């Protein structure tokens, strides 16, 4: 048994459990999401914080990528201080050449051997979770707990999900066969073998808000199907993905693999790098998270050059509130979704459609008028923002100054301001860049205002004539702009069915009547498909079969008399 076959055997139970969860869509989490020393080791929280503090102001020298031609870094914490970390810069030609060299022996392994090695690499890399949380917090602006979960357990679960999906797909057929065809009194026999060949080196283009969570699915789907991968970092959010790449390189090196199976690409102001990297000969697949404008440009470039491109772009996520069991429960849930990470999430709700007559509340038997609905939504947001224990950690900080400018532009549109945005105090970080939600009133006669993505803590309440009118507006918006999440509140079974049918036909994933600790922003690994590949918001789904099978070809070998 090879060393890699032994690794598969070592992780057989994990791979089996993850595969069954992926197939059956039940709850499964391999890495616990609670940042507790009791779970990850009593010294882990303090060690992670110390390593973060010791890295500040120094070169990041943990990567096994040698001979950098420059060092660069421009990261500043949204909580108000520069990180001062520099990273090695390599040219696209060097990165791709090294990736191609590392890829040759890797693709020769069987799918199960690769899966075993990748799970082992993830297990070893999970030792960085606490430093990774600090790195994510101070590059993206997420609160610490969210940063721990999003870049650590949740992202690693998504990577594991990609591995088992890829393994399942590759094992869907036999790898060899003795093929015999009867021809009357005789037969013809051929020996056949089937080889999985990756389309080429993968480039994963990271984003500024979820640099690990959005990157690992594509990286690990590519690795699992035989390709090397290059993580191109966002210029202002390098530290988190650099940590992960370094940990993976070190794990691969310990296993006797070429560490250049995964590399970090660092852009500079003089070398933006994305197009040059994607256009380098040998690149076969690209994963992208970011704006629709650049995403569509990238899709066109890849199509022209025969490169497989998976995108998650921006969408405009709608909500329709027609009737509820308890309005307070619904509004607490909705307010949390609007406040979570200051809506710097591709799944955050933006446009809230409400019938002009108001919302039916079953528990009281009342119809809550539009003005009261708005007032109570504002109260729910204020209650969370003003909660000294929950507010700062929930809202976090604003990753980019451009988001603060966007809030100012939204405020200046002339739309009625239902709740103004303002700073929120982050007790540990007095210089943090923060903003509470801005709530505006929209008008269906001016769809152009709200049918664009206002990324950040900006939301609209939009009166509609009826439930049917609101559903029509939702579906139209999905078709015109795409969406990564939709949410409908109705206690009427007939309206529920009509909304589900209409949104599914439009290609958006519908959710209904969320209250309590389940929010529209969140996507559960192994159960929720993130993205549908059916709207303008992107062509990829984490993690369906299409997300893995497009990364490789199956090539048959036939031999007579062999």
What distance in Å separates the CA atoms of residue 55 and residue 511, rounded to the nearest whole number? 42
Q: What is the mean pLDDT of residues 149-158?
A: 98
Under the banding of pLDDT at 50, 70 and 90, the label for residue 270 is: confident
* C-beta neighbour count of 69 within 10 angstroms: 10
| Each residue's pLDDT tens digit, 54-86 | 999 999 999 999 899 999 999 999 999 999 999
Query: Are the CB atoms for 326 and 303 separated by under 8 Å?
Result: no
Q: Is the dihedral angle over the CA atoms 294, 300, 303, 306 positive or is it negative?
A: negative
What distance in Å separates the CA atoms of residue 529 and residue 457, rounded to the nearest whole number? 25
pLDDT at 285: 98
Q: What is the mean pLDDT of residues 358-374?
A: 96
pLDDT at 561: 79
Residue 61: CA count within 13 A, CB half-sphere: 5
What distance in Å separates the CA atoms of residue 420 and residue 413, rounded to the nearest whole number? 13
Percentage of the chain exceeding pLDDT 90 = 96
Q: Strand ranges (DSSP E) for 199-281?
A: 201-205, 229-232, 262-265
Where does 340-488 have alpha helices with state H? 370-385, 391-395, 401-411, 447-450, 467-481
Give yes or no for residue 489 having a pLDDT over 90. Answer: yes
Query: Are the CB atoms for 435 and 422 separated by under 8 Å?
Result: yes
What distance in Å separates the CA atoms of residue 341 and residue 522, rounded to the nearest whole number? 12
Query: Are the CB atoms for 268 and 243 separated by under 8 Å?
Result: no
Q: What is the mean pLDDT of residues 233-244?
A: 97
Q: What is the mean pLDDT of residues 542-562?
A: 94
Burial class (CB in 10 A: 0-12, 13-18, 19+), 253: middle
**β-bridge pairing 510-512 and 229-232:** unpaired
Residue holding tokens 């993206």? Answer: 140
Q: What is the mean pLDDT of residues 304-331?
A: 96
Query: Are the CB atoms for 324 and 361 separated by under 8 Å?
Result: yes
pLDDT at 271: 76
Where does 320-429 have alpha helices with state H? 327-339, 370-385, 391-395, 401-411
pLDDT at 205: 97
- Report the mean per-residue pLDDT for the chain: 96
The model's pTM: 0.96
154 is written with which tokens?
A: 């949740």
Domains and CATH numbers, the chain: 13-313 (3.40.605.10), 318-512 (3.40.309.10)
Residue holding tokens 């498909």? Answer: 529
* C-beta neighbour count of 1 within 10 angstroms: 7
Determine the straight-line distance between the first and last CA of the chain, rounded to whole angstroms.
25
Query: Are the CB atoms for 293 and 260 separated by under 8 Å?
Result: no
What distance in Å separates the CA atoms of residue 77 and residue 94, rounded to the nearest whole number? 30
| Each residue's pLDDT tens digit, 304-316 | 999 999 999 989 9
Residue holding tokens 């409908």? Answer: 488
Cα radius of gyration (the chain): 25
Q: Tell me, what DSSP letter sits at residue 345?
A: S
Give yes or no for residue 384 having a pLDDT over 80. Answer: yes
pLDDT at 1: 65
Give yes or no for residue 269 having a pLDDT over 90. Answer: no
Helix, strand, or coil (residue 229): strand
pLDDT at 445: 95
Query: How long, in residues, is the chain?
Result: 562
Q: What is the mean pLDDT of residues 24-37?
A: 95
Give yes or no for residue 182 having a pLDDT over 90. Answer: yes
Residue 502 host element (H or E): helix 493-506
Q: Three-state secondary structure along 246-273?
A: HHHHHHHHHCCCCHHHEEEECCECCECC
């Amino acid at each position: 048994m090879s060393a890699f076959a032994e690794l598969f055997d070592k992780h057989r139970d994990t791979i089996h459990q993850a595969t069954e969860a992926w197939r059956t869509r039940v709850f499964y989490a391999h890495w616990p999401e609670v940042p507790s020393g009791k779970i990850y080791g009593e010294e882990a929280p303090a060690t992670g914080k110390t390593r973060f503090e010791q890295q500040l102001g120094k070169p990041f020298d943990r990567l096994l990528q040698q001979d950098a031609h420059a060092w660069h870094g421009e990261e500043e914490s949204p909580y108000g201080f520069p990180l001062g970390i520099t990273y090695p810069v390599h040219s696209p030609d060097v990165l791709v050449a090294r990736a191609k060299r590392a890829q040759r022996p890797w693709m020769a392994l069987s799918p199960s051997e690769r899966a075993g090695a990748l799970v082992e690499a993830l297990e070893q890399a999970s030792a960085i979770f606490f430093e990774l949380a600090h790195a994510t917090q101070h590059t993206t602006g997420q609160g610490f707990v969210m940063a721990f979960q999003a870049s650590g357990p949740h992202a690693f679960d998504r990577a594991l999900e990609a591995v088992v999906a890829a393994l399942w797909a590759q094992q869907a057929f036999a790898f060899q066969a003795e093929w015999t065809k009867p021809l009357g009194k005789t037969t013809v026999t051929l020996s056949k073998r089937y080889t999985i060949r990756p389309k080429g080196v993968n480039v994963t283009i990271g984003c500024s808000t979820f640099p690990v969570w959005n990157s690992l699915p594509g990286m690990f789907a590519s690795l699992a199907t035989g390709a090397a991968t290059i993580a191109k970092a966002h210029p202002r959010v390098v530290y988190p993905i650099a940590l992960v790449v370094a940990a993976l390189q070190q794990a691969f090196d310990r296993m006797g693999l070429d560490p250049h199976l995964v590399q970090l690409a660092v852009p500079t102001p003089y070398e933006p790098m994305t197009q040059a990297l994607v256009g380098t000969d040998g690149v076969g697949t690209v994963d992208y998270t970011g704006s629709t404008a650049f995403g569509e440009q990238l899709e066109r470039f890849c199509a022209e050059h025969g490169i497989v491109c998976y995108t998650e772009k921006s969408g405009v996520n709608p909500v329709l509130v027609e009737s509820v069991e308890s309005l307070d429960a619904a509004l607490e849930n909705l307010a949390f979704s609007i406040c979570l990470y200051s809506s710097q999430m591709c799944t955050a709700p933006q446009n809230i459609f409400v019938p002009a007559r108001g919302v039916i509340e079953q528990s009281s038997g009342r119809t809550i008028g539009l003005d009261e609905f708005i007032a109570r939504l504002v109260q729910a947001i204020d209650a969370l923002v003003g909660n000294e224990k929950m507010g700062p950690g929930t809202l976090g900080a604003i990753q980019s100054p451009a988001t603060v400018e966007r809030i100012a532009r939204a405020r200046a549109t002339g739309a009625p301001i239902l709740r103004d945005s303002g700073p929120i105090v982050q007790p540990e970080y007095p210089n943090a860049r923060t903003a509470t939600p801005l709530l505006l009133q929209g008008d269906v006669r001016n769809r152009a205002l709200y049918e664009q993505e206002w990324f950040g803590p900006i939301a609209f309440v939009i009166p509609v004539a009826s439930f049917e009118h609101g559903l029509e507006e939702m579906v139209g918006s999905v078709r015109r702009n795409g969406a990564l999440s939709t949410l409908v509140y109705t206690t009427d079974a007939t309206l529920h069915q009509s909304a589900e049918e209409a949104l599914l036909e439009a290609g958006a994933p519908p959710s209904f009547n969320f209250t309590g600790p389940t929010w529209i922003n969140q996507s559960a690994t192994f159960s929720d498909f993130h993205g549908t590949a059916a709207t303008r918001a992107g062509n990829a789904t984490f993690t369906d079969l299409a997300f893995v099978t497009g990364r490789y070809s199956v090539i048959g070998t036939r031999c007579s008399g062999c």
